[in-house]
Structure 1
Amino acid sequence: MDNSALPTICQGFYSTAEKYSNRRAQLFNNELYKDNNGCFTYGEMLERVESIARGLLSLGLEKQERAAIMAANSPYWTQADLAVINCGCVTVTIYPTLSLNEASYIINDSGCRYLFAGNGDILARILPGLGDMPTLEKIIVLEMGYKGDGEKIMGLGELAELGRKGAESLHRQYTGRRLGVSLEHWASIIYTSGTTGTGKGVILTHRSFSSRVMGVLENFPQMGVSITREDVCLSFLPLSHIFDRGSGQMLAIFTGACIAYGDKPSTILQDLQKYNPTWFNCVPRLYERIYITIREQMSQNPVKKFIFNRALAVGRKVLEYRTDDHGRINMAHDFNVAEKLPPLLRFRYALADRVFARVRALFGSRFKQSFSAGAGISAELATFFYIMGVRVLEGYGLTETCNACNLTPLNGIKPGKVGPVVAGSTARLGEDGEYITGGAGLFAGYLNKPEETAGAFTPDGWFKTGDVGEIDRDGYLKIVDRKKAIIVLNTGKNVAPAKIEKLFATSSCVEQAFVVGDDRKYIGVLLVPNFNYFIELYQRENISFDKSKLVYSNIAGAEICVQVGEDFVSRGILREMLDKEVARVNRRLEEYETVKKYAVITRRFTEETGELTPTLKPKKRVILANYNDVVEGLYK
């Protein structure tokens, strides 16, 4: 890849908008937004972006200043982001679920003058802390019809109108700003989740984004992957995070593909049918839920279960014909596995595929592949979907690497591992097994943290990921766990909690598992049962429990039970099922890794309790503090 020929984000967007001005750029539910009939072409999006950008200039936004976006995914999120960047400025992303304290920390640390707030609820959360955010001058609510107070608050429509009125007077200033942006200019600051402490502001330049996007587009043909202007990406993972921002928004903008915005996280399956995307970005938890749901549905009917298991056995055999001598599975669309099968297996596969087609139909009729990241997807789970013909490509990267530096090729999948380096990245293992990466896409440093920035790199300039990994002979990567997360038993044995927690992830009756054991003799685990599963089971079996102790919360748009009483978790059937799950997991572990004791928790770990990050990763320090007595009880 020729880094000298890379476009800035501004150049990439304008090139696409001018080349594909009449093609669809953004699709969304018009009932929610009541704007442009639920669709923007690239030409229309460009016009809106320029209006917002000129509006910001009229407010006094200076070059390389910062504007934050605290909002759920929407067409306006993307438009605001591009407007800020095309002004030669820096977008600071804030998860819409963050508390006032967390949001104000980011605004103050980054020195933001402007904030795009997703709606009135987010505005109401921010307003009480305005006095503690001295740099914040204006809040723009991301609703076209919102009317502000004329001073501190305004609506997106009002800002765009300012820009339209200044189209002529601000044209030269805006054009100069946009054309003056270089690859080394900052484009965005994204704050890390902070699983072990306060998050750090990761500075990403235009070069970071462009080298990553252009690099994978160059690699895709050799990997059996294709993303073109004909494709549609369903966006539902937070754009505040690098994953969907890079592998969704930026990838679409640089190729001329269309972005469809899901209504909300709880409507993913409906949105897949409504927008019929060709790709989306996902985390393993969604696949785990689909897997569990399919298994539960099949187990309720003996005939269906028999047919499904027979189909799975056939599919597993067929997968062998997709696999080469290095254990790489070829799931490329142009690989015709049927012609490689013996006649009898081909016939059986044709019947089995009728079953698999029902699962594939969940993803829409045009689905090509999804990219999975955020956590490792288990080999068992990935294989299940490959058998079905559902193509899931696992990537590995961090905010600091500006998305994936490793990506699994569609024509060479190794379940349980991520593919080799891509997009100009290089990699090696440190003496302690830490995965270290160099080359294209790396961040420019941590904002206001020179010591942490220096400590993040090796003396020769490679980034220390903080993950312990293994690289095989083909360059494939297996992440063992976060370096800081590795548990050292008092016997001297090292245990990776992620390996154990991942085995619980496909359980119907376990919602969350948190492994403990630092400086202890053996491994213990805190188990949060799937409360909704057991509520249904208890009601079906007429098992009584105290319903007044149940606490529900709206999680991703669905009402989920997050807390129960002690009587609920003391029922014999629950304990028996958890015993079986622990035994199942232990059979997959080395003796020193096995769970010797477990405690059942009556409350789910949530972001609201401070026990999960916005990307739903457990905050070890907080959980250990909250459940210190419970953990101690495992070792008495």
Structure 2
Amino acid sequence: MFDGHTLCGLFDDTVAAFGDAPALVGPDTALTWTEYGARVGALAPALRTLGLEPGDTVALATRNTPHFHVVDTAILRAGGVPFSLQVTDPAERSAALMDTAGARLLLTEQEFLPAARDIAQRVGAHVTVVVIDGDAGAHPETCVADLLTDGLQDRTASLPQIDAEDIATLIFTSGTTGAPKAVQLSHRAVVSSLRGTHTLAPVSPGGRVLSYLPLSHIAERFMSYYLSLGSGCTIYCVPDPHRLYEAIRQVRPTRFFAVPRVWEKLADRAKDLLDARPGLEDALTATQDGQSILGTDERFAPILAELGLDAAEHRGTATAPSSRWVLEFFETLGAPIAEIWGMSEAIMCTMNPPGRAKPGSVGVLLPGVQGRVADDGELLIRGSNVMSGYLGEPEHTAAAFDADGWLRTGDLGEIDADGYLRLVGRKKDILITATGKNVVPVVVENAIKEQTRLLDYVVAIAEGRRYVTALLVPDYEQLQAFAAEHGLSADVCSLVQNPTVHAEIERAIAAANEQLAGPESVRAWVLLDQQWRPGGDEVTPTMKLRRSVIADKYAPVIDRLYRAAP
């Protein structure tokens, strides 16, 4: 596995090796590897008839479906550079990304056709919209079914030879520090990360993975899509993220990657299952107190089976700092989560190898990746996994590297004597109080979230202020469960003002403050009467906080906190 030099080469090898095994499974579509290969072989030359030339960028506005995988792989085969738009983004934002990429071809689903037309109109240049699902002739736009006419399957001679340095995709930065930049990731960078991952955490051939995170992010593309191209894993597509937990139970993935918030939700579900089984809560407490060896109590096996995690040979997390209690909780259940670290500009950088994980670290550097810590504590990376630069932005590209070619990651960290990396925080996120104290916000935020299940997001505020305060966003599901337990009204609007709820939050804040250093302790807080959705103003699609946006949007609320606090 992973012997080729391009994603197209990996795909060809996998189609030949796995043939009639399932490749793509969705709510209404299932394809074997042979069928997947045939559709790509037919569609790639058909896309060339639309004027797609090698190196041309192509935008996709789709959900996580088998149609996406067929089309994206066909674009690669045709020599194009596919990239995904977030389907929930405003049309203006998507049009700006297409402009940056120079894309004049937009592929979408019938469901999003009105939005795609809006995006195309806003681009201000001729954009061809192609619908990837549905029947031929169903609408004025070209449909993939229209393209797959007789004879196109034989036009493979027109397809270009794909090179390892050709660009495989564009990943737009989250825009938390300015306008999004288009990261160019070559086949070389992707395949290098796949090989390194396989070396540290071997992938069993023909396993099962879920595709549910935003396809515009490298985490989803890498952890399901690209991984399957080289390993033959079946991708189970989850177009509706609200059905994720049901899908985990049904599929029982052999590898499962999730952002920290998903793991927190799974931990909440596991706790509910433990509460419903007399005696297991005591077993969990005893294990955590060190009275038994972690992961050896078979009584926890039904809990993992009910969650759908009992067959997972590897469980990973990244994109944001993880809560210590969640990691310890799953280790206790016998399902340790491996923290890993990467970024859009360098894909995979580190992993905690199975059986050799070091708590508090994000693991060791992958083979072919070099890392060092600069004098100011910033982590620098160099290797075959690194990007080919920002598209059309030579100045930003130059600024991303130092004079010796090391990529500036923006993360602060330490590498210990055993080669394990510990992240301290984002260089740009360090908060400096009016008294000159440095505060790492994620330390404060995780300390609070570890103390209560009622919060979805916590935002520490301290920049230029005398002390730390916090904006708290409720977890509506857990808040309503709390209301039922305490005989309170289930109306969320009244719950955020309820004295019993506030007492629980106050207890959690006090418990967190006992663990935090003096300058980190939270002096005031507010529980907001709203939810923050991934991809919205406050949170990126992968659930990272847009701190500068939050600070501006909630400035009046923050100012009131400091006026009211002692």
Summarize deviations over 1:11-44 as a string: whole Å, max 9, x none: 11112212322322222223xxxxxxx4322111
Deviation of residue 437 (structure 1)? 0.7
Question: 2 CA distance for matches of 1:466 and 1:490?
Answer: 23
Q: Does 1:81 align with 2:72?
A: yes
CA separation of 1:95 and 1:423: change in aligned 2, threshold 3 A: farther
1:235-250 alignment to 2 at 5 Å? 235-250=211-226
1:439 to 379, 383, 393: 383
Matching of residue 192 in structure 1 with residue 183 in structure 2: no
Paired residue type of 2:142: M
**Are 1:413 and 2:401 an aligned pair?**
no
Structure 1: gaps of 5 or more residues: 31-37, 323-330, 332-348, 551-563
In structure 2, give the amino acid aligned to 1:19: A
CA contact (8 A) 1:378 1:415 kept: no
Aligned mates of 2:511, 2:288 — CA distance in 1? 24
Q: Does 1:267 align with 2:251?
A: no
- 1:622-633 alignment runs, 5 A limit: 622-633=549-560
2:441 is matched with 497
Mapped partners of 2:17, 2:272: distance in 1: 48
Question: Residue 157 of structure 2 aligns with which residue?
Answer: 172
Quick check: 127-136 or 431-440, which moved more? 127-136
Measure, in 2, the Cα distance between the counterparts of 1:356 and 1:15.
36
Q: Is the 8 A contact 2:173 2:181 kept in 1?
A: yes
Give the C-alpha shift of residue 543 in structure 1: 4.1
Shift in Å at residue 295 of structure 1? 3.2
Aligned-pair distance for 1:539? Answer: 5.5
Write the deviation string for residues 66-85 of structure 1: whole angstroms up to 9, x where unpaired.
11111111111111111111
Instruction: Spell out the pairing of 1:92-131 with structure 2 (5 A cutoff).
Output: 92-120=83-111, 122-131=112-121
Partner SS, residue 579 of structure 1: helix
AA of the residue aligned to 1:627: Y
Q: Give the gaps of 5 or more residues in structure 2.
A: none
**One-letter amino acid matched to 1:311:** L
Superposed, 1:552-563 pairs within 5 Å as none
CA distance in 2, matches of 1:394, 1:609: 26
Kept in 2, the 8 Å contact 1:215–1:422? The answer is yes
In the alignment, is the contact (CA less than 8 A) between 2:280 and 2:299 conserved in 1?
Answer: no
Retained in 2: the 8 A contact 1:68–1:92? yes
Moved more, 133-142 or 465-474: 133-142
1:251 maps onto 2:219 in alignment: no
**What is the CA-CA distance between 1:619 and the residue it aligns to?**
1.2
Q: 1:61 aligns with which of 52, 65, 70?
A: 52
Change (3 A) 1:194 1:364: same
1:13 pairs, out of 11, 14, 33, with: 11
Q: Deviations over 1:329-360 (max 9, x none)?
A: xx8xxxxxxxxxxxxxxxxx5xx421343234
Q: Decide which moves more: 568-577 or 439-448.
A: 568-577
Secondary structure at 2:345's aligned position in 1? helix
Contact conserved, 1:98 with 1:614, CA < 8 A, in 2?
no
Matched, 1:286 2:262: yes
State how far apart, in whole Å, the 2-side matches of 1:315 and 1:116 are.
50
2:544 aligned with 1:594, yes or no?
no
Q: 1:23 to 1:607 in 2, by over 3 A?
A: closer
- How far apart, in 1, do the equivalents of 2:272 and 2:249 lie? 22
Output the amino acid matched with 2:517. Answer: E
Residue 582 of structure 1, CA deviation: 0.4
Q: Residue in 1 aligned with 2:194? A: 213
> Quick check: 2:266–2:307 contact (8 Å CA) kept in 1?
no
From 458, 468, 473, the counterpart of 1:528: 473
| 1:606 Cα deviation from its structure 2 partner | 3.1
Shift of 1:441: 0.7
Q: What do residues 96-153 of structure 1 show as CA deviations (whole Å, max 9, x unaligned)?
A: 2211011101111111121111332x22123234333244532122214364544xx2
Matches within 5 A, 1:575-590: 575-590=502-517
Residue 56 of structure 1: how far off its partner (Å): 0.5
- Alpha-carbon distance in structure 2 between the residues aligned to 1:165 and 1:144: 21
- Does structure 1 retain, via aligned residues, the 8 Å contact 2:300–2:334? no
Instruction: Identify the range of structure 1 (579-588 vs 235-244) with the bigger mean alpha-carbon deviation.
Output: 235-244
TM-score, normalising length: structure 2: 0.93
Q: Distance in 1 between matches of 2:301 and 2:283?
A: 12
Contact 1:368 1:391 in 2 (8 A): no
In 1, distance between residues paired with 2:292 and 2:61?
A: 44
Higher mean displacement: 16-25 or 50-59: 16-25
C-alpha displacement at 1:246, in angstroms?
A: 1.1
Q: Partners of 2:245 and 2:63 in 1: how far apart?
A: 18
Distance 1:156 1:629, change over 3 A: same
Could you tell me which of 465, 468, 482 is aligned with 2:412? 468
How far, CA to CA, are the matches of 1:126 and 1:183 in structure 2?
32
Identity of aligned residues (%): 27
Deviation per CA, 1:378-404, whole angstroms, max 9, x where unpaired?
2321121011111322210001002x2
Q: Residues 535 and 382 (structure 1 numbering): CA distance in 2 closer, same or farther, change over 3 Å?
A: closer
Q: Letter of the aligned partner of 2:34 in structure 1?
A: G
* Contact 2:11 2:230 survives alignment (8 Å): yes
Of residues 425, 430, 436, the one that matches 1:486 is 430
Q: Which moved more, 1:496-505 or 1:404-413?
A: 496-505
- Answer whether contact 1:215 1:423 (CA < 8 A) is retained: yes
Secondary structure of 2:262's counterpart equals helix
Distance in 1 of aligned mates of 2:17 and 2:202: 19
Give the letter aligned to residue 253 of structure 1: L
Whole-Å separation in 2 of the counterparts to 1:135 and 1:407: 43
What letter corresponds to residue 379 of structure 2 in structure 1? Y
Equivalent residue pairs, number: 561
Alpha-carbon shift at residue 318 of structure 1 (Å): 7.0
Change beyond 3 A, Cα 1:211–1:541: closer
Distance in structure 2 (CA, Å) of the matches to 1:263 and 1:612: 20
Q: In the aligned structure 1, how far is the partner of 2:239 from the partner of 2:253?
A: 14
Decide whether the 8 Å contact of 2:249 with 2:305 is kept in 1. Answer: no
Task: Work out which of the residue numbers 552, 561, 566 in structure 2 matches 1:634.
Answer: 561
**CA shift at 1:517, angstroms?**
0.6
Once the two structures are superposed, what CA deviation does each residue of 1:500-521 show, in whole Å capped at 9, x if it has no partner?
2122334211221111010111
CA separation of 1:206/1:542 partners in 2, compared to 1, >3 Å: closer, same or farther? closer
Partner of 1:553: none
Structure 1 residues 450 and 143, CA gap change in structure 2 (3 angstroms): same
Alpha-carbon RMSD: 2.3
- Secondary structure, counterpart of 2:525 in structure 1: strand
Write the letter of the residue equivalent to 1:166: L
- CA contact 2:94–2:119 (8 Å) conserved in 1: no
- Structure 2 equivalent of residue 345 of structure 1: none
- Answer yes or no: is 1:23 the counterpart of 2:21: yes
Q: Give the partner amino acid of 2:353.
A: P
User: Following the alignment from structure 1 to structure 2, what is the Cα–Cα distance between the partners of residues 601 and 62?
Assistant: 50
The yes-or-no answer on 1:519 pairing with 2:519 is: no
TM-score by length of 1: 0.83
What residue in structure 1 maps to residue 530 of structure 2? Answer: 603
Structure 2 counterpart of 1:227, from 198, 203, 213: 203
CA contact (8 A) 2:206 2:231 kept: no
Distance 1:26 1:515, change over 3 A: same
Contact preservation (8 Å) 1:426, 1:439: yes
- Aligned mates of 2:207, 2:334 — CA distance in 1: 19
- SS state at 1:371 partner: strand
Residue 141 of structure 1 corresponds to 131
1:274-294 deviation line (CA, Å, top 9, x unaligned): 223211221111111122233
